[in-house]
Chain A
Amino acid sequence: MQDLQLVMHGIAVKKYATVDEICSITGLQSDTVKELVGHAVARGRASEANGKYLLTPTGQITLKSAYSKTYGSLRRDEEFVATYQDFERINNDLKQAITEWQTIGIGGQTVANDHSDEAYDSAVIDRIGDIHERVEIILKRLGNQEPRLNRYSNKLLSALEKAEDGDIRWVSDATMESYHTVWFELHEDLLRIMGREREEF
């Protein structure tokens, strides 16, 4: 993708993104991003509110067609598609682990995890670490064909290690680049590459 499209893609994955967030997701420099969001706004592809950017409907449509052009061949690539499906499967494991992070079964009923049991929390973080080792292999295979995706590996590991070191907000806090936040963006990114919709169960 061209840098402008990449910036729009960054906005789309974040939905509602600051310049810093766009930099973090695209790997572009701050000056470049500032200039390009300016272009996007000037051309009516994005709008700005409180320092955050949002794609306009026109922007969404332009981006969609950019995806088809850029990713048409990946969408037909048997190996890439199979690896993507591996990700979808491991995505269920992660969702399950995050649910276990947030809830505890007590005598057959589910209640919120109040994080008073360190051993329980450590075991869940360990499970996420397990999932991480498997997703790294998947990301490596995806990254061979779309190098942009390699960025997620480091972001995930960085969140995981902070959680492992005891700052448990890095597991699923929605207001920071926690493991779940980054994973969710990775999933969103992949859905966009594949031209698919998210399924909720």
Chain B
Amino acid sequence: MAATPLHGKWLLALDGSNLPEKSLIGGKGWSIAHMLRQGLPVPPAFVITTEACAAYLETGELPAELDDQLQAAMQWLEEQTGRTYGCGHSPLLVSVRSGAAISMPGMMDTVLNLGINAETMQAFAVESGDDKFARDTYRRFHELYGEIVLRVTVPELGENENLSEWRARIEKAAGQAVPEAPTEQLKATIEAVFRSWTSRRAKRYRKHHGIPDNLGTAVTVQAMVFGNLDQNSGTGVLFSRNPLTGEPVPYGEYLRCAQGEDVVSGKYTPGHLDDMKTAAPDAYKTLIHAAQTLESTNREVQDIEFTVQQGKLYFLQSRTAKRSPAAAVRIAVDMYREGTIGIEDAIRRVNPDQVRSILSPRLGEGVSNGATVLASGLGVSHGIGVGTVVSDADEAERRAHDGEDVVLATATTSPDDVHGMLVARAVITEQGGSTSHAAVVGRALGLPSVVGCGVGTVTSLHGQTVTVDGENGKIYAGALKVVTPCETEDDRLAELLSWAHEHSPLTVYRPDEAPQDTLDLESNDDAADPANLPALIKGARGARGGAIASEQGVKAALQAGLEYIVAEPTLPALLAAIHAGGTPESSPSIEND
């Protein structure tokens, strides 16, 4: 293609006409180009190439010709969107992202809302009919620019604070001001992306992974779309299947007249997708259809972020969806049954920890129905813990040392209490939320934890035997019946199990199937540490006990050439053996974040 201002060495408009090399436009730009090739509607964007980065790193300045090309590209964005950058009644705002061919840490985060200043904020307020939103957009840009480009901790903007006073505070903290002129905002941000290529983390990562220093990063400049302009606008998330249960039906959330962050922040409760069906029927149809296409092209469940601006659908990002352990099993088996993936892929999409989580002890069916709830709060670390409530970490440690099961209950926890948490079966606090110390440490220890149960909980529970459910946040009176699910109960799990038996390089027996001459590590204290296993199992035919069924234990067994191990349940060990045996399946993902 001939070099034009929009298709040159330094800059490329992503107009769907071609799919440039990833090494030139970076992963993010490539994802956008890729989505455009698939016919998906994506907000218009252009890329400043990795070549421009190399030139910048060499000379310390942006290439001279880039100025004109940048201007031409911004004009093109204006034509595409019908908006104008830095002026007019419908101001164009853009985002700026870094993106190397290989994604790596230390690269600059995304800056949103470039193009906003005192003047465009006014225009934006009139256009959206929402003064507060316009001010928020202004604030958000300054926060991101301050933190990401100027690298300072931006002071909070008070509700009634004057914007120029606030800008002055950022200037004082940073030693330089956030530019008012939108062109300056853009150029300074582009330079900051290029500089981030030489950040400590990026350099370290490249050295560690043998990635050449001269690859450089590209910069993607993309028009912002807004889901809050009117009732025909909105924002949402769509999963091509239910990521909690794995059920093969689209699952998602939609929030009318809102911006993406509103959904993420939890400030508003999003509505059901059906609301989108009514409010923006055409966009809805396109979305559902595209979700199915994306899923079958990628052979993976998709998690799609989208915005509807005045009735028109825009894809912001599509990537492989995260899923609950139960959904992981159901989706893997279903996709095999549908003929989308093979058995090996299906097995590799489920990891040992997910199966352990599904098979971990839980309250028996219906047990909680008749039980007395003594207290409830926010469940922040799942699992069931049963024990006597003590209200002091030292006491917890002493009594646990004597072999008693204890539950630690305190007003809040601090490092003071960690020694008590280490030995407790569960932890309960009166105050705190999902980021409190108890929650953070509880999760780190895999300890069932319920926080924020209210003042007085400790006193009322002290000395009682309780059952703590760290998932639903309830504390029940007495020791409730805890059951351990069986790996053959569920038909999909059973199917996965039969496949795993066939494909595992190591035989795994249940305890009642174990041969007579099995090496028993149960009574050997050293065998609890997987590091000691190679020496202990050398020359054995098969082994049981100790850490042999853990991931590292299975690896040791494979390396030592054991014929079999004994485990209960068997599926996690089988999966560990399969995962240790070969290269993991690459999970295709396209994204544009």
Contact = CB atoms under 8 A, between A and B. Distances in A.
A, B co-complexed: yes
Interface of A: 13-16, 86, 89-90, 95-96, 98-99, 102-112, 114-117, 120, 122, 125-126, 129-130, 133-134, 137-138, 161, 164-165, 172-175, 180-181, 184-185, 188, 198, 200-201
Nearest to A102: B443
Given A106-B322, A106-B323, A172-B444, A114 B153 contact: no
Interface in B171-205: 173, 199-201, 204-205
A126 B106 contact: yes
Contacts of A164: 105, 201, 204-205
The 8 closest A-B CB pairs, nearest first, are A126-B105, A102-B443, A15-B416, A95-B435, A107-B243, A200-B432, A86-B153, A114-B353
Contacts of A99: 434-435, 439-440
A129 B153 CA distance: 14
B244 A116 contact: no
A8 B203 CA distance: 40
B436 A116 contact: no
B354 A116 contact: yes
A31 B445 CA distance: 33
Interface residues of B, number: 55
A117 B323 CA distance: 10
Contacts of A102: 440, 443-444
A161 B204 CA distance: 9
A81 to B, nearest CB: 13
Contact of A114 (B253, B270, B351): B351
A98 B433 CA distance: 13
B208 interface: yes
A16 B322 CA distance: 39
B156 interface: yes
Given A95-B435, A107-B244, A138 B153 contact: yes
B412 interface: yes
Contacts of A98: 435, 440
A103 B244 CA distance: 14
Contacts of A108: 253, 270
B362 interface: no
Interface in B318-354: 322-325, 327, 351, 353-354
B253 A137 contact: no
A44 to B, nearest CB: 18
Contacts of A165: 208
Contacts of B431: 200
A201 to B, nearest CB: 5
B276 interface: no
A12 to B, nearest CB: 10
Given A86-B155, A106-B323, 15 more contacts: A89-B153, A90-B153, A99-B435, A106-B322, A106-B327, A107-B251, A111-B324, A116-B351, A117-B322, A133-B151, A134-B147, A134-B152, A174-B444, A188-B414, A201-B435
A129 B200 CA distance: 10
Contacts of A103: 434, 443
Contacts of A89: 153, 155-156
B152 A180 contact: no
Contacts of A185: 415
A129 B354 contact: no
B435 A129 contact: no
Nearest to A157: B200
A150 B26 CA distance: 38
Contacts of A106: 243-244, 322-324, 327
B435 A109 contact: no
A129 B106 contact: yes
A15 B414 contact: yes
Given A112-B381, A114-B354, A174 B418 contact: yes
B83 interface: no
28 contacts: A13-B415, A86-B173, A89-B153, A89-B155, A95-B435, A96-B435, A102-B444, A106-B322, A106-B323, A107-B242, A107-B251, A108-B270, A110-B434, A116-B354, A126-B105, A129-B201, A133-B151, A137-B152, A164-B204, A164-B205, A173-B444, A174-B421, A174-B422, A180-B444, A185-B415, A200-B432, A200-B437, A201-B432
A145 to B, nearest CB: 17
Contacts of A201: 432-433, 435-436
A89 B156 CA distance: 9
Nearest to B303: A107
A137 B146 CA distance: 14
A94 B244 CA distance: 28
Contacts of A137: 151-153
